Structure 1
């Protein structure tokens, strides 16, 4: 029987970390199912889901935690992942505007209000090409119950865009 594990890793970034992680997974007959990884401020951060034979689980965890060469802090959680999902709509939000404190809090508050579930959140601060001012960019992928309509979400986001003086675009997945 296979067990699904969600693993979070954090440490100093260096070449070969993903290869080293995958080597440990393969050595324990695991399957790398999905992941999100990034290098931020010289640190390597990642989250991945691995399926492993139940009898390999303890040895795999020990091998990953005791791998001196990786130098990663590791957190494990067993997943009860199922492929069946209730009916939901998927949306993507793109935001860009002058950087200011609280943007993520404000947009996440709107999403919580409508019970949206954030699947991915990517943010960055960039320089505007002509003026050099700091711009905040966000890309959010989310899913939400089908009874919440795109127009309702769009109205809330337009109000927020006006308050923050940013551009926000809502795109329905598959549209």
Structure 2
């Protein structure tokens, strides 16, 4: 029977000027310390590489890994911070909604939508947003997609109503679908 050494999970945030080899350098550091790359979301935004990575490391090698992270800034220009992973929030039953929003870009849109969700006790598990040119010179459009987790006691219709009210005020198209 094989026994496994105890491990600790960390969430890494990484940012650097975009260039080849950033992910490879981070993956090598994880691997060199006996760690596992568990989950990640990586993106290129405005010329910057940005990422969030969940890793698991053997307890006896975790501190050496954490001590090695600052050297990535000197070696490849990647600033990496680590935080011990927390316990999952909302382990009770819940439902999720997939949100899609499209409308004329204006300041405050993310604030308005996120405030409406917060007022209903909902949590944003994932959010991706971007702007693009509107057809026929109609200015800039703002588009967002989100996965929203509702607490077990939440009234889905109340969440929909709160979001539809904000969508009407912002004059945007809003789609909500169970996921």
TM-score if structure 1 supplies the norm length?
0.93
Q: Is the 8 A contact 2:17 2:48 kept in 1?
A: yes
Distance 1:85 1:76, change over 3 A: same
Structure 2 residue corresponding to 1:66, chosen from 71, 95, 108 = 71
Structure 1 residue corresponding to 2:34, chosen from 18, 29, 33 = 29
The secondary structure found in structure 2 opposite 1:69 is helix
Cα distance in 1, alignment partners of residues 81 and 30 from structure 2: 15
Q: Is 1:79 the equivalent of 2:85?
A: yes
The runs of 4+ residues in structure 1 deviating greater than 6 Å are none
Q: Which residue of 2 aligns with 1:117?
A: 123
Please give the residue correspondences for 1:10-25 in structure 2 after superposition, counting only pairs within 5 Å: 10-25=15-30
Cα distance in 1, alignment partners of residues 136 and 100 from structure 2: 21
TM-score if structure 2 supplies the norm length?
0.91
- Report deviation, 1:132: 4.3
Q: Is the 8 A contact 1:4 1:81 kept in 2?
A: no
- Report deviation, 1:60: 0.7
**Count of residues in correspondence between the two structures:** 173
Cα distance in 2, alignment partners of residues 23 and 102 from structure 1: 40
Q: Which residue of 2 aligns with 1:98?
A: 104
- Report deviation, 1:69: 2.0
What are structure 1's unaligned runs of at least 5 residues? none
Distance 1:34 1:137, change over 3 A: same
Q: Which residue of 1 aligns with 2:95?
A: 89
RMSD of the alignment, in Å?
Answer: 1.6
Q: Which moved more, 1:58-67 or 1:29-38?
A: 58-67
Q: Is the 8 A contact 1:9 1:45 kept in 2?
A: yes
